[in-house]
Amino acid sequence: MRINLKVGHFPLFPTSLYTSQLLVLHSLSPPNKTLNPKVTSFSTVSSYYSSNSLVSVNGFDFLEQFSPFRNLANSSTYTVITSNERRKIVVGLSRVIKDEKGYILEAFSRDFCPSFLVKIIKLLGDKEVAFAFFKYVVQDYSEHTVRSCCISAHFLAAGDLRLLAQDMLSWIFRRIGKYRSDEVVNFMWREHYKYECDFSVLDSLMRAFLTAEMVSSALEIMSKMRDNGLRPSSSAVSILFKLLLRIGDYGSVWKLLRDMLHKGPRPTNNLFNVMILGYSRKGRLRTGESLFHLMRKFGCEPDVFTYNILINAYCIRGWTSYALNWVHMMVEHGCNPSISTFSTVINALCKEGNVVEARKLFDGMQEVGVFPSTVTYNAMMDGYVKAREIFQANLLYEEMKKNGVAPDAITLNILVAGHYKYGREEDGDRLLWDLTVGGLFPDYLFSDVSIAGLCWTGRLNEAVALLDNLLEKGIPVSVIAFNSIIAAYSKEGLEEKAFEVYNIMVQFGQTPSASTCASLLMGFSMTGRLQEARDLMAKMIAMSFPINITACTVLLDGYFKKGDVMGARTLWDEMENMGIAPDAVAFSALIDGLVKAGFVEDGYDAFFQMIRKGLVPNNFVYNSLITGFCNSGNMNEAQKLERDMREMGLFPDIFTINTIINGFCKKGRMKLAIDSFVEMQRSGLQPDIVTYNTLINGFCKAFDVVNADNFMTRMHASGWEPDITTYNIRLHGFCSTRRINRAVMMLDELVSAGVVPNTVTYNTMMNSACNDILDRAMILAAKLLKMAFIPNTVTANLLLSHLWKQGLPQRTLIWGQKLSEIGFEFDEITYKILDKASHFIQENTEYCTETTEKSLFLDFLMYITYDYIRRSRAYSDNNDSSYELVQDGPCGSFKLVNKATVWSI
């Protein structure tokens, strides 16, 4: 028989993995990097599923010829398998043809026959490839096809391939839904005696429903098993418990447990662990503890996994002291702690900022014969980095290498991030180069490390292209690589691109991690789209994705940045209901946000709450509170906090001292400001440009020109050149004392020095122009316009105020109306000016409306400001998009839909 099958000739793996790695190495720059911040469009989706991908040439799909449903209209767009699965199927089918079994493929392609399908599946050999082939060829879900699939599942179960049969049934159940699934159950039960026993078919159906997450149908199958005198397997019941706990159906959980106690199977350690884990994840620790104590009553002894579940639950809630008590308890009961036990507690201590205690435990575990793993080293290094102790992190990394513990991609991210944030970028570049080129990573991690490295060096386009290439070639890529690109896109504010990569990650079978969720939330939070962030969080929680404290902290910070203090407080309260305990970073974000919003006392209360929980405040927390008290004029409390810092072993940094100096300057207590300046130098801190600017500003406001000039001289002597802030301070001082000529000279001086004026510069000079005599005012205004004057809200308020002061209330209201028509957001000052103008007109029916040269000049400046704001608003509206988050597919993938686009259709 001549086999009439087409076989495409194409290289499955043009290069070996080693060669691919060498090519990747050449794409990594040495420490002197060239950044490419511009991000192009992500092309991976189209390349995975286009007609030219992998197994197709010139529009011909090699797989299509093997499907009995190839004539379906939607076959060309069918995308149930990934490119990697396509490639593996082609390899498997090519082997079948090479073994002269192609006649089976040809027969199957003519008619969907259960026996031929089973033969092909057995010939393919690999379970993953066989299931992928099944998903591809079953493109029709008519009653005849579904029944044929059921018969195939019977054949497979009878041939010791029950796991594959369960996967096939689960796939069918997902596609046809609950109503038709009941018909499948009846059909399989009615015909099963021809192929398999009662338990086999019901167990397969139950597991298939569990895999499809159709809990109610799984419960019905379990009831059917009971009715037929059968006892479900412990492993299947454990999966059922897990799903019931995930959806929060606690009533069914306890009913099922009582049923097991009476009818079997007897609860096992694994079952109790599943229940304890489920309740702990829901924040019901008391119930978890009760189940722990109940285990022994039913002949089950808590093992290391049981203890670790509870220890981890306490650590997540921030109750590290309780977690340590459980460690002592497990030792007392003869259960030896594992590496996971120590890693969990060390990680919790580091996240709380208690690096000293974490290091003690890290050293102590080795004394009892438990040696740190990569995860333990990563947790400890992450703690040092967050404490800004980069030197200690580097020492620990060297110790890690010395002890033969292999670093992974997470190690890379921790160390490189530390150097970029708190160290020197060149050290981060050098470390990145050494790690990627030095052969320190195993081959299977190389792809992840290469992608992460490209993202850290700002070469996102190359990282995306590399991911695309690796997936095309079937080279393994873990969730770490996907997370690196998702995080990079989110930081760039490209949420849609981040979701594209996320969806591909899900389609390739990777489970989202806590880092994935945090990165996606960060993208929304950074752009102020908090409602979309809350919607995403709700969907992820409903799907039991790992939402951790990092994700909540990202969203909390987003609320504060947008000024939504009530939203931030609400989220903080909801965190406890979700069983998520705040760590030191979360408390830092809360305290800083409250202080910046003006709720200093509330921030102080949160500070004491943080200490009561055993969390250690760092410099950032103290600096936030000191800033708040200084801004509110409470210098006594600010100085008390500075003393507390020193007692806690924290040394006030330059930011701390500058804040205190600024507080004294605002109150006009210049002698105390100078005392702080002198004390700073005695303690070894060198003044920076902010220090000098603060003191110069303080003396200018105190009209002490001599000392202002003295500190200008000292600043030059210390090697600091004046910046735009310095010039703005002096300009304001000159303008306040009506020394306009001197101000103009300084304006020319800063331009000559190459310092770029900002809006403060422009508004200061514009205010002087409006107050000055007309001729000189027009010259000054012309100079500002020539320098590309950029008006803002302050400019608008300034001009409205001058119109009012010039006795032109009618013009003030007219321009106020024009600004409101273009969506200009009035602040408190704007409303006060407009209210004064309105009251004046109401109370003075007769007032001078004479047009003067000064009023025309102000009108001209007002028009320029109005026109600029109007054009800026129009551009912003055209580029602003509102998105809706919708679920896209059964596997937990999402997509962003532009509402404006949808509404316009």
Q: What is the DSSP string of 34-69?
A: ----------HHHHHHSTTSSSEETTEETTGGG-TT
Specify the 3-state DSSP secondary structure of 887. Answer: strand
**Spatial separation of the C-alpha atoms in residues 514 and 710, rounded to whole Å:** 54
Say which residue, 26 or 493, is predicted with more confidence. 493
* Structure tokens given for 893: 């993938």
Specify the 3-state DSSP secondary structure of 161. Answer: coil
Q: How wide is the angle at C-alpha 268 spanned by C-alphas 267 and 272, nearest 5°?
A: 80
**Spatial separation of the C-alpha atoms in residues 228 and 198, rounded to whole Å:** 8
**Spatial separation of the C-alpha atoms in residues 819 and 825, rounded to whole Å:** 8
Residue-wise pLDDT for 697-719, tens only, equals 888 888 887 888 888 888 888 88
**Spatial separation of the C-alpha atoms in residues 165 and 142, rounded to whole Å:** 19
pLDDT of res. 19: 35
**Average pLDDT of the chain to the nearest whole number:** 78
pLDDT of res. 822: 79
Say which residue, 615 or 339, is predicted with more confidence. 339
Nearest residue to 676 via CA among 620, 629, 665: 665
**Spatial separation of the C-alpha atoms in residues 174 and 315, rounded to whole Å:** 37
Q: How wide is the angle at C-alpha 759 spanned by C-alphas 754 and 764, nearest 5°?
A: 95
Residue-wise pLDDT for 178-233, tens only, equals 888 988 999 999 878 888 899 999 999 999 998 888 888 999 999 999 888 889 98
Q: Which helix (H) or strand (E) holds 666?
A: helix 654-666
Q: List the single range of 42-56, 292-306, 537-551, 741-755 with lowest mean pLDDT.
A: 42-56
Say which residue, 467 or 880, is predicted with more confidence. 467
On the question of pLDDT at 138 being above 70, the answer is yes
**Spatial separation of the C-alpha atoms in residues 875 and 883, rounded to whole Å:** 18
CB-based contacts of 208, cutoff 8 Å, min separation 6: 166, 167, 169, 170, 173
Query: What is each CA distance from 283 to 239, 571, 581, 631, in whole angstroms?
Result: 20, 16, 10, 39
Say which residue, 259 or 651, is predicted with more confidence. 259
Residue-wise pLDDT for 464-516, tens only, equals 888 887 777 777 677 888 888 888 887 777 777 888 888 778 777 777 777 77
* Structure tokens given for 333: 């009961």
Position 76 confidence tier, pLDDT thresholds 50, 70, 90? very low
* Structure tokens given for 517: 């969720």
Position 317 confidence tier, pLDDT thresholds 50, 70, 90? confident
Q: DSSP secondary structure string, 427-453?
A: HHHHHHHHHHHTT-S-HHHHHHHHHHH
Helix axis angle, 479-491 to 514-526, nearest 10°: 10
* Structure tokens given for 877: 């509206």
Instruction: Quote helix, strand, coil % in the chain, to nearest 5.
Output: 70, 0, 25
Residues 57-77 as b/e (b if ≥16 CB within 10 A, e otherwise) read eeeebbbbbbbbbeeeeeeee
262-266's contacts with Cβ under 8 Å and 24+ in sequence apart are 263/226, 263/231, 264/231, 265/231, 265/232, 265/233, 265/234, 265/237, 266/298, 266/299
CA 838 to chain centre: 49
Position 272 confidence tier, pLDDT thresholds 50, 70, 90? very high
Output the CA torsion sign for 548, 549, 552, 557: negative
pLDDT of res. 48: 40
Residue-wise pLDDT for 395-445, tens only, equals 888 888 888 888 877 787 788 777 766 656 556 566 666 655 555 555 556
Percentage of the chain exceeding pLDDT 70: 81
586: which DSSP letter? H
Position 44 confidence tier, pLDDT thresholds 50, 70, 90? very low
pLDDT of res. 422: 64
> 282: exposed, middle or buried (C-beta count within 10 Å: 0-12, 13-18, 19+)?
middle
Query: What is each CA distance from 802 to 527, 759, 792, 859, 862, in whole angstroms?
Result: 35, 18, 16, 10, 10
pLDDT of res. 134: 92
Q: What is the 3-state secondary structure (H, E, C) of 753-802?
A: CCCCCCHHHHHHHHHHHHHCCHHHHHHHHHHHHHCCCCCCHHHHHHHHHH
Q: Which helix (H) or strand (E) holds 380?
A: helix 374-386
Other Cβ atoms less than 10 A from the Cβ of 621: the count is: 28
